[in-house]
Structure 1
């Protein structure tokens, strides 16, 4: 039995310490033990969001938390802007249309980021915008949007809430919710947070709470006012993902042991290692360096290679598991995840196995070029 070398954008590998934490005997979510754990975790997760606001824990995937952000803050018929740079930005479009919002879609070409200039021009003729939705890290393309700059544009040109999907980057990319002016920030457990799927985390600004209190859209299971009320007592309104919350405590341990700034720097280092390796192998990258994600790299199909056969071969022969492309990029790219429980040594391993597969497919390159380039970035990291 070989281990699966999972280099996906989620789910991602789970540390042994987290697995063991989740294997503890379970106790009631109405017990004093849970209240103590909930309140402790709430404080420990705040630095990852860059906020003084409470963190709400929803027993759901990230998409449900994105839906909660939308349905609680906006009413049917109100105008919203959705910035989409890929498949998961389109999720926000679908959510907003499902609830009857009047959607103004700012669609950016896949592989490009939304800049503050583009957003400013798009917002100029619009008025009475209730919220602007944006994906921070787009895993279908490997783009990290300049969220701090976009937030500045939103607040300088509108009175809209700025609602951000941070599902695939919180814990692996800088986040300063309060300083940047993000009104609702969402993440999920199965990405850089190093947990199995099933838990989402969400934080809400004072501005957004006021809008939520005034919003008349009905919601029951995803009612954030209910989550806020119960959180005051260290609980959730419904049965939470208790074992994942045990694991989240262990995740906090690991990040605190490494140091949050070091965790962010490690992700940036791994991004640079992957990009240097691909360039040395004459393999193209979808995105520019300026907006490249620290948690996932989207790689163009090597010239002359049957991508489907190559990825299948890597998984079967070398147990290396990459993700394929989505939407219009299907068959044209593959995605190299480097988030959460992933380290420079894992990048060197994956690049080495990639090279082995390329040789097996008679791809023309200088053997060892990718590993050497990635190793050089690592050795020059300081």
Structure 2
């Protein structure tokens, strides 16, 4: 059926009708008092979402722009950093850091496994000369469905005393607890097309006071992504460059919806959907790809063994207009991923698991009793 596509991927995610309507307004001048009022209100809302009293700066760009900004505004050429790499986006951190001439020590884990927090502790404790300037990692590794223990890593960084924590929270912010000030995270980056329930186009960089002190010493080249310029204009409820005005309208509407629901309720909803999706897959007989106990609240990655994951995704999309995410890099065809991030409700989870079961039956690959996945999901969702 035309215009019925349901996004069950980790981004872009579904956008609420309220947000779409807000974005459908005529643009206004981005230097006008009316727009400055929007910037002022959203700045306060963003601090609420990040659980910080510090700056949360808005860039017109993708999440990768925020990642790059986090590095180039706090570090200098030749600085030593630790980078966690247990998936495609951890690998991206390594690429960005090396592009800017940083000395990168990689702490690696197999795709599907969490980063070993003790490896970070060991490396940081051995650094008696305090040469490590930052620890950089991905909180929710979108490519594998793994959630890394950001709180524990940040604790080890704080004990080091010199290094900063720079965290990709692109698919964790708005899905699980990321209390920036309480944990002591120095830089948090995220993107609009995830838990924010917006289309792509905005990215966000939250900076601690320690991060701003590092900014004063940073010598890496920057112009459009110079966060000092964003901070200077943010004080005046403005932006150094032309912002995505209509996305700001949507941002305010989305954040109002999130505040009405409340952080604890949002986090509980995402945790419940993770549990339901996992239970549904296990009941069907498809193994989870992420290590037990480390599944992301944003996305469930499913291993398909001998089944071609791309074939399954094709059937689910063609028969039910539900889009699942595929595996990335060497996991293509071996893994599919169910996004349950942002504007996703119980109905979406039920429909998706049901569609997967029917698709398996259509392909002649259903090994469990038909309906077992839906029954498992229903049992979780009915627990109030």
Give the shorter-chain TM-score range.
over 0.9
Deviation at 1:256, TM superposition (A): 1.7
The yes-or-no answer on 1:242 pairing with 2:245 is yes
Structure 2: 5+ residue stretches without partners: none
Partner of 1:120: 121
Partner of 1:324: 326
The yes-or-no answer on 1:133 pairing with 2:136 is yes
Compute the RMSD of aligned alpha carbons.
Answer: 1.2
Partner of 2:270: 267
Partner of 1:251: 254
3-state SS of 2:136 partner: strand
The yes-or-no answer on 1:300 pairing with 2:314 is no
| Pairing 1:29-48 to 2, within 5 Å after superposition | 29-48=30-49
Q: Deviations along 1:18-66, whole A, 9 cap, x unmatched?
A: 0000011111110101111101111112122111112100000000111
| TM-score where L is the length of structure 2 | 0.97
Deviation at 1:125, TM superposition (A): 3.2
Deviation at 1:123, TM superposition (A): 3.0
Counterparts of 1:122 and 1:79 in 2: how far apart (Å)?
12
Partner of 2:97: 96
| Pairing 1:1-382 to 2, within 5 Å after superposition | 1-2=1-2, 3-126=4-127, 127-301=130-304, 303-363=305-365, 364-380=367-383, 382=384
Q: Deviations along 1:149-180, whole A, 9 cap, x unmatched?
A: 11001111341010000111211111100010
Deviation at 1:124, TM superposition (A): 3.6
Counterparts of 1:203 and 1:157 in 2: how far apart (Å)?
21
Counterparts of 1:306 and 1:23 in 2: how far apart (Å)?
40
Counterparts of 2:244 and 2:72 in 1: how far apart (Å)?
22
Counterparts of 1:250 and 1:61 in 2: how far apart (Å)?
20
Counterparts of 2:306 and 2:138 in 1: how far apart (Å)?
33
Counterparts of 1:162 and 1:307 in 2: how far apart (Å)?
36
3-state SS of 1:316 partner: helix
In 1, are the aligned partners of 2:112 and 2:146 still within 8 Å (CA)? yes
Structure 1 residues 110, 158: closer, same or farther in 2, change over 3 A? farther
3-state SS of 1:131 partner: strand
Moved >6 Å (runs of 4+): none
In 1, are the aligned partners of 2:76 and 2:217 still within 8 Å (CA)? no
Deviation at 1:216, TM superposition (A): 2.2
Deviation at 1:254, TM superposition (A): 1.1
Counterparts of 1:97 and 1:18 in 2: how far apart (Å)?
38
Tell me how many residue pairs correspond in the alignment.
380
Deviation at 1:219, TM superposition (A): 1.1
In 2, are the aligned partners of 1:84 and 1:90 still within 8 Å (CA)? yes
In 1, are the aligned partners of 2:100 and 2:220 still within 8 Å (CA)? no
Deviation at 1:304, TM superposition (A): 3.9
Q: Deviations along 1:335-355, whole A, 9 cap, x unmatched?
A: 100000101111001111111
Deviation at 1:314, TM superposition (A): 1.3
Deviation at 1:240, TM superposition (A): 0.7
Structure 1: 5+ residue stretches without partners: none
Deviation at 1:258, TM superposition (A): 1.6
